[in-house]
Amino acid sequence: MAVPIAEKRIADFENMGFGMFIHFGLYSQLGRGEWVQHIEKIPKEEYMKLADTFTAEKFDAKKIASVAKAAGAKYAVLTTRHHEGFSLYDTCGLNTYDSLHTPCGRDLVREFADACREVGVKPFFYHTTVDWYNPDCKNDFPKYLQYLRDSVEILCTNYGEIGGLWFDGNWWYKDRDWEEDKLYAVIRKHQPNAIIVNNTGTSALGRVGNPEIDSVTFEQGRPTPMDREGMPKYLAAEMCHTMNAHWGFGGADFNYKSLAELIETLCSCRKVGANYLLNIGPTGDGDVPFMQEALLYGIGGWINKTGNAVYEGRPCGVLGARKDFALRANGKLYFFVHDLAIKGNENVTVEGGGYGPRSFSGLQDKIARIRWTDNGEELSFTQNGTDITVDCTGYPYGTNLVVRIAEAELA
Ligand code: GLC
């Protein structure tokens, strides 16, 4: 059985490779994550008062878009409405629980979409499906689903061309009919090129859903290779990931991953052809926490030194030892080499796992020459049929890229 060919929008989505997620809502003001209303059982009337203090005065969409751009993200996904039911866009009279009816008074989704386009980052919209505000979600589901479709129709018609819709929440009512066909038809009608995602949550990583969905999700879980043989349609894959332990702002969450871990996680996604969607959680007034911004700049710095392989590279069956692997792009092979040491005086080279020969297997091409993407240094190698051993030199003193990429030209 064959692997289906990816439709253009899905191939384009895979080529974007790396995106930035933004969780922002009323909950951001409390600094205890986006589930605080539910977890702390805050009565709805009390929770809704957060709308009276929602100013978003530091929500600077241009800044957010430029941070995504600097990180090397090709798309950004904003929570236009999260489970709390509050919208960052003008609901055009569906209700008044939106950013327009708060001291903020602005349409943050419009600012976000415009700012993203200005810097060349594709705007995507996260939208909740479960809703803790609208009582119809619990009591009159068909009516609620129409409200959901009307909401999504606003997003699909008022904000220009969007990259995609990212739904989340169907796992709340596992046994109900969410009338997904009708919801996705709204998107296909107005935004034929939009990617449709519906998060399957942490307990169903990579599960294939409705036929209109374009990508499977791996929430907080390293993606596994997809077996696409015999699938009716080529599906992309995406892993969404938090930098600390919360999506929405966690004011006292200091459990940040290291820059090295984030770079390795991005690589481990690309290893299996999956996109990596890394989250930020702005503070209550919309500011991007310094730590989050810094980590994103770090990733961008790494991408700038390693070239396009991380976007364009595709799995090609070439594997190395431990974490090492290779991708193929534009008639070249890219070896992703982990844990190299810094060369030089032993007083300064204690870090890393050494340098020297690294072996890869499963090659289908003969290699002509190999160079590091970061400094152009040429590497010697010996190839024996489908096996190759590359003499991976260590980092020059002053650098350590965590994952170093060597570009191989084919003979
Ligand atoms: C989960 C959470 C949600 C978060 C999402 C992001 O489904 O319910 O709060 O937005 O994951 O992937």
Residue identifier of the C-alpha nearest atom 8 of ligand 1? 169
- Please tell me the distance from the alpha carbon of residue 99 to that of residue 191, in angstroms, as a whole number: 24
- Please tell me the distance from the alpha carbon of residue 374 to that of residue 357, in angstroms, as a whole number: 19
Residue of 77, 82, 247, 280 with the most ligand 1 atoms within 8 Å of its CB, for mutation: 247
Q: How far is CA 79 from CA 27, 85, 108, 155, 281, in A?
A: 12, 11, 10, 12, 10
Residue with token string 């974007």: 16
Residue identifier of the C-alpha nearest atom 5 of ligand 1? 168
CA angle in degrees (0–180, nearest 5) for 143-148-151: 125
Amino acid making up residue 10: I
Q: Which residues make Cβ contacts (< 8 Å) with residue 201, sequence separation at least 6? A: 171, 217, 219
348 band by pLDDT with thresholds 50, 70 and 90: low
Return the H-helix or E-strand segment holding 381: strand 381-384
Quote the percentage of the chain above a pLDDT of 90: 90
Q: Which residues have C-beta atoms less than 6 Å from ligand 1?
A: 23, 34-35, 168, 199, 201, 219, 240, 247
Residue with token string 């001291």: 103
What mean pLDDT is reported for the chain?
95
Q: Which two tokens stand for residue 170?
A: 């169907």
CA angle in degrees (0–180, nearest 5) for 234-227-183: 40
Taking each continuous run of H as one helix and of E as one strand, the counts in the chain are 11, 17
pLDDT at 148 over 70: yes
pLDDT for the residue 209: 85
Q: How many of the other CB atoms lie within 10 Å of CB of 376?
A: 8
Residue with token string 């609208």: 134
Residue identifier of the C-alpha nearest atom 9 of ligand 1? 34
- Please tell me the distance from the alpha carbon of residue 157 to that of residue 180, in angstroms, as a whole number: 19
pLDDT, mean of residues 137-161: 98
- Please tell me the distance from the alpha carbon of residue 177 to that of residue 397, in angstroms, as a whole number: 59
Q: Which two tokens stand for residue 172?
A: 């709340």
Q: Which two tokens stand for residue 240?
A: 């969404």
For the chain, give the number of residues.
411
206 band by pLDDT with thresholds 50, 70 and 90: confident
pLDDT digits (tens, 9 = 90+) for 8-20: 999 999 999 999 9
pLDDT, mean of residues 346-366: 79
- Please tell me the distance from the alpha carbon of residue 359 to that of residue 190, in angstroms, as a whole number: 50
Q: Which two tokens stand for residue 100?
A: 């327009």
Strand pairing category for 164-168 and 122-128: parallel
Beta bridge partners of 32: 250
pLDDT digits (tens, 9 = 90+) for 89-133: 999 999 999 999 999 999 999 999 999 999 999 999 999 999 999
pLDDT for the residue 377: 97
pLDDT, mean of residues 188-195: 98
Quote the percentage of the chain above a pLDDT of 70: 98
C-alpha 167 to ligand 1 mean position (Å): 10
pLDDT at 200 over 90: no
pLDDT for the residue 354: 81
43 band by pLDDT with thresholds 50, 70 and 90: very high
pLDDT for the residue 208: 84
Q: Which residues make Cβ contacts (< 8 Å) with residue 360, sequence separation at least 6? A: 318, 319, 320, 324, 325, 326, 335, 387, 388, 389, 390
pLDDT, mean of residues 207-221: 90
Q: Which two tokens stand for residue 169?
A: 């929440």
The atom number, within ligand 1, closest to the CA of 33 reads: 9
pLDDT digits (tens, 9 = 90+) for 319-347: 999 999 999 999 999 999 999 988 876 66
Q: Which two tokens stand for residue 210?
A: 């409705």
206 neighbors 173 (Cβ within 8 angstroms): no
pLDDT for the residue 383: 98
pLDDT at 53 over 60: yes
221 neighbors 202 (Cβ within 8 angstroms): yes
Beta bridge partners of 216: 237
pLDDT for the residue 203: 81
Residue with token string 């570009």: 407
pLDDT for the residue 221: 87
Helix axes 141-157, 180-190, angle to 10 degrees: 20
Residue of 199, 244, 276, 279 with the most ligand 1 atoms within 8 Å of its CB, for mutation: 199
Residue of 20, 38, 165, 219 with the most ligand 1 atoms within 8 Å of its CB, for mutation: 219
- Please tell me the distance from the alpha carbon of residue 401 to that of residue 342, in angstroms, as a whole number: 10
Q: Which of 71-80, 205-214, 366-375 shows the lowest per-residue confidence on average (mean pLDDT)?
A: 205-214
